[in-house]
A and B are shown apart, each in its own frame.
Chain A
Amino acid sequence: MCFTSIWILGSGISEMATDAVAVGVPRRRVAALSWRRLFSHSSFVVGAAIVAGVIAAALFAPLVTSYNPIEQSFRDQLLQPSRGHLFGTDEFGRDIFARVVYGARIALIVGVVADGLAAVLGVVLGVLSGYFGRRVDAVLMRTVDVLLAFPYLLLAMIVVAILGPSLINAMIAIGIVYTPQFARLVRGVVLQIKEEDFVEAARAEGAGSLRILGRHILPNILSPIIVMATLTVGYMIVETAGLSFLGLGASPPTPEWGSMLATGRSFMLTAPWIATFPGLAILVTVVGFNLIGDGLRDLLDPRLRGR
C-alpha cells in the first residue's frame, strides 16, 4: 500500500469559493490524507468505481459496442430501446448506446483539457501573485475579481464568441472561466509556503527566485491543485456539455452528450430516449466525480466525518 500523503489547504471547493464573497476570512487548516484512508471511505470508493467504469467505457468503446456512433441508417430511425439497440436510435438511425459510450471519450477529454488549462493558468497567475506580491499581486487579483464578477456561462459565451464555436474552444472557455478559482487557491498556498523556514533557509543560502519556486514552492502546491482539479472536473464536463447544448460547442455528428441532448429536445415527446440516456450519462459521470470530491472533503474536514 502506498502511503503518499496529500497535503491540502482548506476543506474543498466550497470553502475556497466562499472566500470570494464571504466577509470574514475563513480559518484555513492543513490536514494530511493517505491513500489507505481514502480507500476505506465509502463515497470515495463508489465514486472511484463509477469514474473507473466511465474511463473503461471510453477506452474500450469499440469492444463495448459494435455500432459506429456516427454511421447513419435510415431504416432504423427513431427505434425504441430494444435488445438490438439498448438505448434506441436517433433521427438518423444512429445507435444511442454507441453514441453515449463514445461520448464518454469526449467528456473525459473535455474534463482533462479544461481542468488542465485552468490548473496551468491558475498556477502561473497564483504563483506570480503570491510569490512576487505587491503590484503584480494587486493587478492580477483585481483581474481575478473582474473575472469572478461575470456569471460563468456568460464569460464562457464571450470567449466562445471570440474564438468561434467549436468543442475545443468550448473547453478553452470553460478552462478560462475556472482559472480564477485555481489562481486564488494557489496564491493562498504560496503566500503561506513562502514564509516557511525551509524557504527562508534556501533564500539565506543564496538561492534565486527561480530555484525557490521550482524546488520548494511548486512541489508543495501540486497536491492542493490535484484535489481542486478532482473537485471541479465534474462541473467542467457539465458546463462544456451546456455550451454544446446551446450550439456553442461540439457540432454534429460528434457524439457529444450536450449536443445529443439538444437534438433530443426536439424529439422529446415522440422519442424521449434520445434525450434521456445522454443526460443519464452526464449525471452518472458527475455523481462519480462528486463522490470522489465528497470523499476528499469529508476526510479533510474531521467535523463532517461520519455524517
Chain B
Amino acid sequence: MLRFLRWRLLQLGPVLLGVSILVFFGMHLIPGDVAQLLLGDKGTDADLQRMRHQLGLDQPVYIQYFRFLGGALQGDFGESIRTRQPVIWEIAQALPVTVQLSLAALAFALVAGLSIGVLAARFPHSALDTGSMVGVLVGVSMPVFWTGILLLLVFGGILGWLPLGGVLDGTLAVRRITGAPLLDGVLTGRWPIVWSAGRHLVLPAVALGATAMAAIARMARSSMLDVLGLDFIRTARAKGLAERRVVSRHALRNALLPVVTLVGLQLGLLLSGAVLTETIFALPGLGRLAITSVLARDYPVVQGVVLIAAAVFVVANLAVDVLYVYLDPRVRYQ
C-alpha cells in the first residue's frame, strides 16, 4: 500500500508541473498586457514601463515562468486586477464554499444513487426498476444549469420552501473559521446559522449532484446485478441469511468497486458543474470567482484558480485511487 501511495505521489509532481506550464503559457497567449490592465487608462508610458519592470514582464518568458512557479509554490499568485487583493486571499475566501458544495452534492449523489441502484437491482424488471432507470436516463442527460433553474423555480419560487440563492440569510453573520458557513455554524455552536446554511445548501447540492446521482444509480444497479448472480451470494442465501443481510453485508461491498471508480470520474464533472451551479445560486465559490475573472480579464486570478482547482482535482483522484486499493486488495498485486 505504501509503495503504491509513494508511486502515485511521485506521479503527481510532473502532472502538476505540466499543469502550471500549460496555465502560465496559456495566459501568455491571451491578448492584452497585465500591466496595462492594472494601470487602466490613467498611466503614462513611463508608468507602464515601471509597472512592467515591477511585475517582471520585461524579463524573458522562461524567467517569468520560474518566478511564477516559485511564487505559486509559496502560495503567492500575485494580485487581482479587479479587486487589488492578493489572489491567494480571493481563493481562500472562495474555496471552502466550493468544497462544501461539492461534498454535499457528492453525499447526496452517493446516498440517493446507491439507494436507487440497489433497490432497482433487488427487483429487476419491476415497475420500480423501469421507472428508476427512466429517471436515471433523464438525470444523466439534464444540463446542471437547467436542473438548477427548475429547482429554484419550483422550490424557491412557486412553493417558497427554500431560499433563492446565497449561502446564508442576510440577517445572519458567522465568525469565519473554515470559511464553509455550515461547518463554521457547527463549530461555533450557533444552530440558527447551521439551519440557514443547510437550507441554502439543499438546492445547489441537489442540482449539482443530480447527474452524478443518476450515473451512480445506473452503475450500482448493474454491478449489483452482476454480484447478486455470483456463487458466494447463493451460498449466503443457502445458509439461511436474511435477504436484507445478503444484500447489505455480502453484495454491496463487492458492488461498490465500480462505483468508487465512477465517483473518481464524477469529481471532474462536479468541479466543472460547480462553476454553473454557483452562477445560478449566486454562491461566492471558486467557480464563480473563475468565471467572473475570465469575463473581467483578471488573469492573475484565473491563473491561480485554475492551478488550485487542478491540484484539488488531482489530489481527489489520488484519494479515490487509494480508496479503490483499500477496497479491493487484488489491485495491490497488479
- Please list the residues of chain A having a beta carbon within 8 angstroms of any beta carbon in chain B: 14, 17-18, 20-25, 142-143, 145-147, 149-154, 157-162, 164, 234, 238, 241-242, 245-248, 258, 261, 264-265, 268-269, 272, 275-276, 279, 282-283, 286-287, 290-291, 294, 303-304, 307
Report the Cα distance A234→B141, complex, angstroms. Answer: 8
Report the Cα distance A161→B28, complex, angstroms. Answer: 11
Residue numbers in A under 8 Å from B55 (CB-CB): none
Most chain A CB within a 10 A radius of its CB, from B124, B137, B152, B157: B137
Given A152-B269, A245-B276, 17 other A-B residues pairs in contact with their CB atoms under 8 A: A14-B219, A18-B262, A21-B265, A21-B317, A149-B310, A150-B306, A154-B305, A154-B310, A157-B290, A157-B291, A164-B31, A234-B141, A241-B143, A261-B145, A261-B149, A268-B149, A283-B141
Report the Cα distance A146→B309, complex, angstroms. Answer: 13
Residue numbers in B under 8 Å from A286 (CB-CB): 141-143
Q: Do A149 and B18 have beta carbons less than 8 Å apart? A: yes
Say which residue of B26, B279, B294, B321 sits within 8 Å of A23 (CB atoms): B321
Q: Do A145 and B15 have beta carbons less than 8 Å apart? A: yes
Q: Do B149 and A161 have beta carbons less than 8 Å apart? A: no
Query: Can you name 8 A-B residue pairings with CB atoms under 8 Å?
Result: A21-B261, A145-B15, A146-B15, A154-B272, A161-B30, A161-B297, A162-B26, A246-B291
Q: Do B313 and A151 have beta carbons less than 8 Å apart? A: yes
Report the Cα distance A8→B149, complex, angstroms. Answer: 39
Question: How does the 8 Å CB contact mask read for B164-197 relative to A, with 1 for contact and 0 for none?
Answer: 0000000000000000000000000000000000
Say which residue of B150, B275, B309 sits within 8 Å of A246 (CB atoms): B275
| Chief secondary structure at chain A's binding surface | helix
Most chain B CB within a 10 A radius of its CB, from A153, A245, A258: A153
Is B23 located at the chain interface by the 8 A CB criterion?
A: yes
Residue numbers in A under 8 Å from B295 (CB-CB): 247-248
Is B22 located at the chain interface by the 8 A CB criterion?
A: yes
Interface range, B side: 35 or more
Residue numbers in A under 8 Å from B9 (CB-CB): none
Say which residue of B143, B222, B291, B317 sits within 8 Å of A282 (CB atoms): B143
Q: Do A161 and B294 have beta carbons less than 8 Å apart? A: yes
Most chain B CB within a 10 A radius of its CB, from A161, A248, A283, A294: A161
- Closest partner residue, chain A, to B142 (CB atom): A283
Say which residue of A23, A246, A247, A275 sits within 8 Å of B146 (CB atoms): A275
- Please list the residues of chain B having a beta carbon within 8 angstroms of any beta carbon in chain A: 4, 14-16, 18-19, 21-23, 26-27, 29-31, 124, 137-138, 140-146, 149-150, 152-153, 157, 219, 222, 225-226, 261-262, 264-265, 268-269, 271-273, 275-276, 279-280, 290-291, 294-295, 297, 299, 302, 305-306, 309-310, 313-314, 317, 320-321, 324-325, 330-331, 334
Say which residue of A21, A149, A162, A245 sits within 8 Å of B145 (CB atoms): A245
Report the Cα distance A164→B226, complex, angstroms. Answer: 48
Report the Cα distance A246→B291, complex, angstroms. Answer: 7
Q: Do A242 and B276 have beta carbons less than 8 Å apart? A: yes
Q: Do B275 and A153 have beta carbons less than 8 Å apart? A: yes
Residue numbers in A under 8 Å from B299 (CB-CB): 161
Most chain B CB within a 10 A radius of its CB, from A145, A147, A157, A276: A157
Report the Cα distance A268→B320, complex, angstroms. Answer: 38
Most chain A CB within a 10 A radius of its CB, from B294, B321, B331: B294
Q: Do B143 and A272 have beta carbons less than 8 Å apart? A: no
Report the Cα distance A238→B276, complex, angstroms. Answer: 12
Q: Do B290 and A154 have beta carbons less than 8 Å apart? A: yes
